[in-house]
Amino acid sequence: MEAAKYVSELVEKARVAQAVIENYTQEQVDALCKAMAKAIFDNAEPLARMAVDETGMGVYEDKVNKNKGKARVIWSDMKGGKSVGIIRQLPELGLTEVAKPMGVVGAITPTTNPIVTPMCNAMFALKGRNAIIVGPHPRSKKCSTRACELMQEAIVKLGAPADLLQCVAEPTIEISGEIMKQCDVCISTGGAGMVKAAYASGKPAYGVGGGNVQCIIDDDVDLEKVVPMIVAGRKFDNGIICSGEQTAITPAAMYDDMVKTFQKNGAYYVEKPEEIDAVRNVIFPGGKMNKDAVGQSAQHIAKMAGLTVPADTVVLLVKVEKAGAGEPFSKEKMCPCIAAYRYNTWEEAVAIANANLNVEGKGHSVCIHSYNDAHIDYAAETLPVSRFLINQICSTNNGGSFFIHDPPLLVLRVFLVPIRRDSGEVFAGASFGLPRCPDFLAGVLGVHFIEYVADGGKLAVPAHTVHTVIDGNKVDAVLWKQHFRIHPDLQIVTPEPAHILNDNALDLARLDVGKHPLESGPVE
C-alpha cells in the first residue's frame, strides 16, 4: 500500500478515536496517562532487553533504569497538571486560557531512545486529549511497537479506544513524511534531516535535534567529586543520550590533576597524536558520526581504533586542542568519549563551549561545575542554550529527575490554548508547551519557544525566552515538597547526601550524585 493511503487510514482511525475522548474529564485523562506510564514501568526489563538486542546499542541496566525512572518522573510531574477546561485566568490582563485538543499528533521517534520517547510522546498527547501516531525508527521498530502495544492495552482496559495510540509496524522515510504532512501537530526526534523535514511539513512542528553538552569545570571545585559525576553522565547507556556530557573544559593549572582523576574513575586518556587520529577517524569517518560507533562501549570503540585499553575502561578522554569548526571532536559524540580542553581564563572556557555549540547543539544544554556566582552568571548569559545545569549529572538529570526542582522536558506536551479576552475578542494562538512552566509563557501568545535553524537542523532559543536554570546549589522548597515529599522547612545546602539544614542526621541516599539518579519506586 502506498504511504499516503496507509497514513490517511491511520489518521482517519485516530480522528474517530480522538473524538471519543474530546470531552473526557481531567480525571479520565489522567487515568489514561498513569496507565501508560505504569505499562512501561512494569515492563521495563523486557523492553530494555528488546531495545538492546534489536538496536545493538546502549546498556541493558541503564535502559531498565531509564524506562522505570522516566515513567515515574514524567507521571509524577504530569499528575495534577491541568489540561482540561480553564487552565488559568489572568484578570489583570483580561485573559483566560482554555485547553483544547489539537487533534492527531504525529511523532517520529529515534532508534537511540526507542521506548521512553514514544512513551512520553503518547502521555503528553493524551494528556491534551489528542490521539497519536508513532513512527518509529526502522532499526527499533519491534521494541517501539511493543512499547506502544503495552500502552494501548492499558488504555483499552480503561474503556478508551485502541486507535488513540497507533504505531507504524513497518516504518519508511515515505511514511514518516506522510505522518508529518497529514497529522495536525508533528514532533520529530532525531537527526538534522528529520528535524528539517518536520519544519518543512507545513504543520506546527517541534524538532528535537542533537545535543552537544559542554561541561565547564571551574577552579573552585573538588575534582574528586566532580569527575565521577562527569564520568557517570558520559558512560550512561554508552553515551547515547543527547543530554550527556561531551567535553571537560578545565583550568590549565588543574588539567593534569583532572586527567589523573579521570583515569582513577575508569577513563583511558588518549593523548598521543596517532591515537587521537585513530579515535577521531573511527568516531567521525569523513567528519560525520559513525553509525557503527553509536551507543557502543568504550572498550568497543578502542578496539575499532586499534587501541589496547585497561579492562575497566568506561570512557575515552581525548586531548583536543582546537574548538569549533574543523575539529570533529567539537561535535556531539554519541558514545562514551569526552573531549578534554584546557583554558586560562573563564572567558576563554566559555568561548570554547560557545564555539563547539555553534558547530552542533546550539539551543540545547550546558553543564557548569562551579560555586562562583559571577562565573555562573557570565556563562548563563553568554551561552545559547535552553537548559543550564549547575553541579549536576547532566546526562540523567537534564530531562527531569527526582533530584532537581524543574519539570521534565524530554518532549513537549501538546494542546491548544485559545485565549479569550473578556471583551469577546479571541486570539487564535496555540501553545505547545507546559502551562505551568514560565519558559512557555510566550508560547501562550503563539510565539514558538524553540525555533529551527535552517542551515544546521539544530534547536535555537529566541532571545525572548526565559532560560531554565537547574542549580545544584539552590533548592525551591515548594517544589521539593511537591516532587520529593520532603518537609518544606528543610533546605538543601549542598548537593551531597545528608546535608540537610536542621537535620544532618537524615540520610537521603537518593541525593548522592555519584549514584544512578533514576532509581525509583513504582508508578503511583
Q: Between the CA of residue 91 and those of 266, 418, 420, 422, what are the distances in Å?
A: 57, 16, 11, 9
Residue 372's CB: how many other CB atoms inside 10 A? 15
Angle, CA of 412, 365 and 403, to the nearest 5°: 75
Cross-strand bridge partners of residue 367: 215, 389
Sheet holding 165-167, edge to edge: 165-167, 131-135, 104-108, 185-189, 205-208
Cell of 259: 586527567
CA distance 211 to 191: 10
Specify the amino acid at residue 131: A
Q: Between the CA of residue 447 and those of 5, 308, 441, 442, what are the distances in Å?
A: 33, 52, 9, 5
Indicate which residue of 33, 183, 186, 242 is catalytic.
Answer: 242
Beta-strand ranges (E) seen in 304-441 are 315-319, 337-343, 365-369, 387-390, 419-421, 426-427
Q: Between the CA of residue 98 and those of 24, 33, 57, 58, 207, what are the distances in Å?
A: 15, 20, 43, 42, 25
Cell of 502: 536542621
Specify the amino acid at residue 110: P
Q: Which helix (H) or strand (E) holds 72?
A: helix 60-78
**Rg of the chain, C-alpha, whole Å:** 23
CA distance 39 to 33: 10
Burial readout 43-56 (b: 16 or more C-beta within 10 A, e: otherwise): bbeebbebbbebbe
CA distance 382 to 362: 12
Angle, CA of 192, 196 and 197, to the nearest 5°: 120
Q: Are 182 and 9 in contact (CB under 8 A)?
A: no
Residue in the block written with cell 547526601: 497
Q: Are 501 and 493 in contact (CB under 8 A)?
A: yes
Is 167 one of the catalytic residues? no
DSSP of 1-67, one letter per residue?
--HHHHHHHHHHHHHHHHHHHTT--HHHHHHHHHHHHHHHHHTHHHHHHHHHHHH--S-HHHHHHHH
What are the catalytic residues? Answer: 242
